[in-house]
A and B are shown apart, each in its own frame.
Chain A
Amino acid sequence: MTQHIYLTILLPLLGFLVNGIFGPKIKNEKLIGIIGSGSIGLSFIISVISFFETLNLPVDKRQTIVTLFPWINVGNLNINFSYQVDQLSLVMALLVTGVGFIIHVYSIGYMHGDKAFWRFFSYLNLFIFAMMNLILADNFVLLFLGWEGVGLCSYLLIGFWYDRKFEKSTTADAGKKAFIVNRIGDFGFLVGMFLIFMTFGSLNFNDVFNRASIFNVSEGVFSLIAISLFIGATGKSAQIPLFVWLPDAMAGPTPVSALIHAATMVTAGVYMVARCSVLFASAPAVLIVVAVIGILTAIVAASIGLVQNDIKKVLAYSTISQLGYMFLGLGAGAFGAGIFHVMTHAFFKALLFLGAGSVIHAMHEEQDIQRYGGLKKFMPVTSKTFIIAALAISGIPPLSGFFSKDEILWYTYANGLWFLWVIGVITAMLTAFYMFRLYTLTFEGKSRFGSDKHPHESPKVMTIPLIILAVLSVIGGLIGIPEIFSGEHGNRFHNWLSPIFKQAERKMIIFGTHSHFEEIALMTISVVGAAAAIWFARHIYLNRPSIAENLSRKFRLTYNLLLNKYFVDEAYDYTIVNPIVKGSTSFLWKIADNKIIDGTVNGLAKVVAIISVYSRKLQTGLAQFYAIIMVLGITLALFWIILSR
């Protein structure tokens, strides 16, 4: 089946085409849903079979390249449509198709009755198609095709309800913002690609990574390449300074937020950096930048998350914050740990979003957590699964989030970045706090909504996906139990991925040895911190809401700063967006474009049109005249050949 991995890409494409073309004619929601989720389900099955096939191969033969057809052949540039099945892409493929399938099924319930049901499923399938291209590509160009494709789908799905208002503007504007901010990152990625081709003469992963170890390339060039690629990653994975689009992306339907803006697409940047680990490992300075940007993003986003009142906004900032952790892991050289967190995060964050969707569904599109409360008794399944996810993200053992987050923090510390470790632990406490603030305000305490709302548990098609994800959030971390607990075999997930990062690790300084005691001590600190934060959150929001009010009054300035998201959007508008808009209207548009360019073009066009009108008169319609012209032509040609001898 590994040889037929392209089916995992073709099936979603097929689903997209069928639902996209015939969707409006198929009136039956069930059929559309089955086509949409069925194609992803089959892809998941194929991925699982390929995974076990690969697992049975010897470790050094676990990379399979499946070439479909040559794509671009120009000079030295040879790009094929070929897919690379290996340990890393398989993990991602399982994740995308698996979580994707669950969310597709959930969407059948969530989108029930929407007038563009078919359009939703066709876009979702197109997204999976693009995402699978991104993760299975064996070269940068095909990866970029997927990279742009997921960006497009993200845009289409954020603006899916294009006729609805979103905050001060429309969902379409939110879509545009996401797209434009992503384009800025894409520019960096493109530059990185050009530099790679210039330096290594190829864009094929295997070639580039092998040559990166062999070629004598200065660290400066490596740094330039790595930083360019990282700029691309900050766009797609919502890191400082390009994180501003992700909160607005919540304008889309909630399953979209779960699938694209939490579980899969936003981790593309993490995947890309991990894939290019050799290039990053060759540029130690950039690795530090990655780690610092990651932890800064983590704590900034977590602090904003403390005070937001929109349930999806809180989760959005939490996503940004968790992505920051992943980059911290990558920056600390723990590429495997970063991918591990991608996986566990996909489980619990998808669960959180789907749970939020279930709540929003029950509360008739109300998203303000101050108007929830006491939903536990109406929605038993949603509330139970939600608390599991909240515990997982807070890093409470033995849930999945604990293992991955702890591994990242441990590597950060072990690699000598103890200061970043401190911030990491503080962020973990903030995370635990805002998650339980969210949980408590939503599900516990007294109801704060009007009598017009009649909350109810969601249908089975929505709750079963929640239960599956909850199970995964609980046990998902067990494949990555650290060595100190699991003994000789070590961390299974780590062992599985380690061949991918071997080249990178050879280039890096070996970690200093640390005792098990240190590891356990650090672990205890972060767990105790998180547990304290949980207790504190519940204490405040369940028993003493006045504490929160007092705090916000006392630290009015800080509170406003956080509530307004550090005024980053406003700062961007003021320093970048407005000057560009003004400059382009007053000069580029009115003078450069209208006068200079249009003037030249229109002038030339007029000249061409005049020539055209005159030369058409040659066409007299007389056959004799035509023959004369032919004779003239032949005579000229003959004279030329005689004279040129």
Chain B
Amino acid sequence: MLNSLQDLYHIIPLLIVSGGILVSIIVEMYSKDSEKILFALSILVFGAAGLFSLYSVNNVSILFNGMLATGGNVNVFSFIFNIGAFIVTLLSADYIRKYGTYYGEYYIILQSSVLGMMLMAGAKDLFIIFIGLELMSISFYVLAGLNRKRYNANEASLKYFLLGAFATGFIVYGIGLIYGTAQTTSIDILTVRFPQLTGNLLFLAGVLLFLVGFTFKIAAFPFHMWVPDVYQGSPTVVAGLFSTGGKAAAFSAILVTLAALFNGNVGSLFTPYLIFVSALSMIYGSIVAISQDDIKRMLAYSSISHAGYLAIGLAAGNSEGTAGIIFYLAAYSFMNLGAFGIVALIEGENETNLSIASYAGLAKRNPALAALLSIFMFSLSGIPPFAGFFGKYYVFFAAIKSGLTWLALIGILSSVISVYFYLRIVVLMYFKDQGEEVIPSKSAMGMVGVVLSAILVVLLGVFPGSIINLISSFL
């Protein structure tokens, strides 16, 4: 099927990760010291794949008979996934030991979930999206419940699996209806024929079901119910991956498929649905986050409201919106991973110290961690000069440009509400005395991961223009 060696060159990031998985399995089987080797290998794989994606970002091409695209924003996504996973791996180094027994599968499954994400972003065919989605989702279900001895983890994993499978069912059903009415699963062909197909109700129902399934995956209202329970029950670093890589991958798939709607100027067809999802996710996430006492549940609701902000870009339906979403995803991935990383460092044995009260007085005990967490909280609440501000700015700008000023206003209001629960952490850290003695675990690798996230958050906040120009140039 390969047309030439050139094709192989284009999929090097995919090859690196795939190769990583195979090598990891063998290492895990035969090596006694597999944990350290697999850690190093994962770092290498994610780092190499991420950097190569960035390096080859200009090699835009379509491969495998129009099944897979590489280069351009596909590689931007690939960079986000791989560097995100890179940070997760760094955070995992000491965390999984603290959390419970180490299982050799951990890094292997982590790599396969990333492979799934990369496939979703590059897909040019509904089947490839589906394969990528399943690869990622099933890996996620396993990662959530990897520690079989923990009651919470089992609950989270099972809930995630049941509801996730339920949602996947809709996606498959949607693909079925689309194929039944259009006789193709190729996204390019669908794009061309979209204007004629809009008259067919079954086709529209298919697209809608597909969208609904992905609304579940991006964790947006009203398909968000699983999020707090799953994030709370899963290992913290894994929850970090769910909320960033998982969400980014689902958005990449939506962008790939809905490109048809955007380019054909018939985007308005699903705009009411997207507006509904976006507005309610923002408001619901922000409001309910206020009354959370557990930091992971708070971050879960924050993740719901961020899905809402991102969906503004979808509702706007213009190229500014798409560029805004991609920038936002990069910003969100790194700031949220940083926040989860610090939660993982603060977390004690047996999932203690996860309440918000545990953060009181952190600034005195560990000024570095407190400063870093403040950066992430400021960025999440959208305060310049951090990345989060420009993410919101670009999607709001896109909404205003396509006449959805009031949706942008809802977004701004919801940001105002969200400042309350984000900055509450900062206030606790700096202005309250400590209640109980909470000693963050010492993890050099974890610190590297958190600092790397902070650097990326600041860089994205300082150079937003260059990055948005890069993303826009591929649209």
Contacts of B201 on A, CB cut-off 8 Å? Answer: 641-642, 645
Contacts of B397 on A, CB cut-off 8 Å? Answer: 74
Q: Among the listed A71, A612, A634, which residue makes an inter-chain contact with B290, where contact means beta carbons less than 8 Å apart? A: A612
Task: Judge if A546 is at the interface, Cβ distance under 8 Å.
Answer: no
Tell whether A630 pairs with B158 under 8 Å between CB atoms, given A69-B463, A70-B465. Answer: no
* B216→A69 contact, CB < 8 A: no
Interface residue SS majority, chain A: helix
Question: In the complex, how many angstroms separate the beta carbon of B164 from the nearest chain A beta carbon?
Answer: 11
Residue of A nearest to B420 (CB): A605
Task: Give me 17 A-to-B residue pairs in the complex whose CB atoms sit less than 8 angstroms apart, sorted by A's number.
Answer: A72-B465, A73-B465, A73-B469, A605-B420, A608-B417, A609-B291, A612-B287, A612-B289, A612-B291, A619-B229, A623-B163, A626-B159, A629-B225, A630-B167, A634-B170, A637-B273, A641-B205
* A632→B222 contact, CB < 8 A: yes
* B222→A633 contact, CB < 8 A: yes
Task: Judge if B223 is at the interface, Cβ distance under 8 Å.
Answer: yes
Contacts of B429 on A, CB cut-off 8 Å? Answer: none
Question: In the complex, how many angstroms separate the beta carbon of A76 from the nearest chain B beta carbon?
Answer: 14
* A71→B465 contact, CB < 8 A: yes
* B465→A619 contact, CB < 8 A: no
Question: In the complex, how many angstroms separate the beta carbon of A275 from the nearest chain B beta carbon?
Answer: 24
Task: Judge if B209 is at the interface, Cβ distance under 8 Å.
Answer: yes
Contact string against A for B residues 289-308, beta-carbon threshold 8 Å, 1 for contact and 0 otherwise = 11110000000000000000
Q: Chain B residues in contact with chain A, CB under 8 A?
A: 158-159, 162-163, 166-167, 170, 201, 204-205, 208-209, 212, 216, 222-223, 225-226, 228-229, 272-273, 284, 287-292, 397, 417, 420, 463, 465-466, 468-469
Pick the 6 closest A-B CB pairs, nearest first: A70-B465, A626-B225, A633-B222, A612-B291, A612-B290, A69-B466
Tell whether A70 pairs with B287 under 8 Å between CB atoms, given A623-B163, A630-B223. Answer: no
* A70→B291 contact, CB < 8 A: no
Assembly CA distance A640 to B159 (angstroms): 28
Residue of B nearest to A625 (CB): B225
10 new A-B contacts, CB < 8 A, other than A608-B290, A619-B225, A638-B209, are A615-B284, A616-B288, A623-B163, A625-B225, A627-B162, A629-B222, A630-B216, A641-B201, A641-B208, A642-B205
Contacts of B469 on A, CB cut-off 8 Å? Answer: 70, 73
Contacts of B290 on A, CB cut-off 8 Å? Answer: 608-609, 612
* A615→B288 contact, CB < 8 A: yes
* B162→A623 contact, CB < 8 A: yes
Assembly CA distance A625 to B162 (angstroms): 12
Tell whether A623 pairs with B159 under 8 Å between CB atoms, given A634-B170, A634-B209. Answer: yes
Question: In the complex, how many angstroms separate the beta carbon of B230 from the nearest chain A beta carbon?
Answer: 10
Assembly CA distance A626 to B288 (angstroms): 16
Q: Among the listed A608, A630, A642, which residue makes an inter-chain contact with B166, where contact means beta carbons less than 8 Å apart? A: A630
Assembly CA distance A630 to B170 (angstroms): 11
* B284→A630 contact, CB < 8 A: no
Question: In the complex, how many angstroms separate the beta carbon of B297 from the nearest chain A beta carbon?
Answer: 9
Assembly CA distance A642 to B209 (angstroms): 13
Residue of A nearest to B208 (CB): A641
Contacts of B204 on A, CB cut-off 8 Å? Answer: 641, 645
Contacts of B166 on A, CB cut-off 8 Å? Answer: 627, 630
Residue of B nearest to A73 (CB): B465
Contacts of A557 on B, CB cut-off 8 Å? Answer: none
Most buried by B among A613, A615, A627, A634: A634
Task: Judge if A509 is at the interface, Cβ distance under 8 Å.
Answer: no
Assembly CA distance A634 to B225 (angstroms): 14
Question: In the complex, how many angstroms separate the beta carbon of A631 from the nearest chain B beta carbon?
Answer: 9
Tell whether A638 pairs with B208 under 8 Å between CB atoms, given A69-B466, A619-B228, A630-B166. Answer: yes
Task: Judge if A611 is at the interface, Cβ distance under 8 Å.
Answer: yes
Assembly CA distance A641 to B276 (angstroms): 13
Q: Among the listed A615, A625, A644, which residue makes an inter-chain contact with B287, where contact means beta carbons less than 8 Å apart? A: A615
Task: Judge if A621 is at the interface, Cβ distance under 8 Å.
Answer: yes
Contacts of B289 on A, CB cut-off 8 Å? Answer: 612
Assembly CA distance A637 to B292 (angstroms): 30
Tell whether A634 pairs with B284 under 8 Å between CB atoms, given A73-B465, A73-B468, A623-B163. Answer: no
Contacts of B208 on A, CB cut-off 8 Å? Answer: 637-638, 641
Most buried by A among B170, B222, B468: B222
Contacts of B222 on A, CB cut-off 8 Å? Answer: 629-630, 632-633
Question: In the complex, how many angstroms separate the beta carbon of A597 from the nearest chain B beta carbon?
Answer: 14
* B291→A640 contact, CB < 8 A: no
Question: In the complex, how many angstroms separate the beta carbon of A256 from the nearest chain B beta carbon?
Answer: 27
Q: Among the listed A73, A615, A626, which residue makes an inter-chain contact with B163, where contact means beta carbons less than 8 Å apart? A: A626
Assembly CA distance A613 to B205 (angstroms): 36
Contacts of A634 on B, CB cut-off 8 Å? Answer: 170, 209, 212
Most buried by A among B225, B292, B420: B225
* B291→A630 contact, CB < 8 A: no
Assembly CA distance A71 to B201 (angstroms): 46
Contacts of B466 on A, CB cut-off 8 Å? Answer: 69-70
* B463→A611 contact, CB < 8 A: no
Contacts of A642 on B, CB cut-off 8 Å? Answer: 201, 205
Tell whether A613 pairs with B291 under 8 Å between CB atoms, given A70-B469, A626-B163. Answer: yes
Residue of A nearest to B469 (CB): A70
Question: In the complex, how many angstroms separate the beta carbon of A405 from the nearest chain B beta carbon?
Answer: 43
Question: In the complex, how many angstroms separate the beta carbon of B286 from the nearest chain A beta carbon?
Answer: 9
Contacts of B292 on A, CB cut-off 8 Å? Answer: 616
Contacts of B212 on A, CB cut-off 8 Å? Answer: 633-634, 637
* B167→A638 contact, CB < 8 A: no
Contacts of B420 on A, CB cut-off 8 Å? Answer: 605
Q: Among the listed B159, B225, B229, B417, which residue makes an inter-chain contact with A630, where contact means beta carbons less than 8 Å apart? A: B225
Question: In the complex, how many angstroms separate the beta carbon of A602 from the nearest chain B beta carbon?
Answer: 12
* A638→B170 contact, CB < 8 A: no
Contacts of B205 on A, CB cut-off 8 Å? Answer: 638, 641-642
* A612→B288 contact, CB < 8 A: yes
Contacts of B417 on A, CB cut-off 8 Å? Answer: 608
Contacts of B463 on A, CB cut-off 8 Å? Answer: 69
Most buried by A among B159, B163, B465: B465
Question: In the complex, how many angstroms separate the beta carbon of B323 from the nearest chain A beta carbon?
Answer: 11
* B465→A611 contact, CB < 8 A: no
Question: In the complex, how many angstroms separate the beta carbon of A361 from the nearest chain B beta carbon?
Answer: 35
Most buried by B among A71, A73, A616, A629: A616
Contacts of A74 on B, CB cut-off 8 Å? Answer: 397
Question: In the complex, how many angstroms separate the beta carbon of B144 from the nearest chain A beta carbon?
Answer: 13
Residue of B nearest to A74 (CB): B397
Assembly CA distance A618 to B291 (angstroms): 13
Assembly CA distance A627 to B158 (angstroms): 13
Residue of B nearest to A72 (CB): B465
Question: In the complex, how many angstroms separate the beta carbon of A83 from the nearest chain B beta carbon?
Answer: 16
Question: In the complex, how many angstroms separate the beta carbon of B387 from the nearest chain A beta carbon?
Answer: 15
Residue of A nearest to B159 (CB): A623
Assembly CA distance A1 to B281 (angstroms): 53
* A623→B288 contact, CB < 8 A: no
Question: In the complex, how many angstroms separate the beta carbon of A34 from the nearest chain B beta carbon?
Answer: 27
Question: In the complex, how many angstroms separate the beta carbon of A617 from the nearest chain B beta carbon?
Answer: 10
Question: In the complex, how many angstroms separate the beta carbon of A91 from the nearest chain B beta carbon?
Answer: 30
Contacts of A615 on B, CB cut-off 8 Å? Answer: 284, 287-288
Residue of B nearest to A70 (CB): B465
Contacts of B167 on A, CB cut-off 8 Å? Answer: 630
* B223→A616 contact, CB < 8 A: no
Question: In the complex, how many angstroms separate the beta carbon of B160 from the nearest chain A beta carbon?
Answer: 9
Question: In the complex, how many angstroms separate the beta carbon of B273 from the nearest chain A beta carbon?
Answer: 6
Question: In the complex, how many angstroms separate the beta carbon of B345 from the nearest chain A beta carbon?
Answer: 21
Q: Which of A572-622 contact B (CB under 8 A)?
A: 605, 608-609, 611-613, 615-616, 618-619, 621
Assembly CA distance A642 to B200 (angstroms): 11
Assembly CA distance A609 to B201 (angstroms): 42
Contacts of A609 on B, CB cut-off 8 Å? Answer: 290-291
Assembly CA distance A627 to B228 (angstroms): 15
Contacts of A641 on B, CB cut-off 8 Å? Answer: 201, 204-205, 208, 273
Residue of A nearest to B167 (CB): A630
Most buried by A among B158, B170, B223, B288: B288
Most buried by A among B216, B229, B469: B229
Question: In the complex, how many angstroms separate the beta carbon of A184 from the nearest chain B beta carbon?
Answer: 24
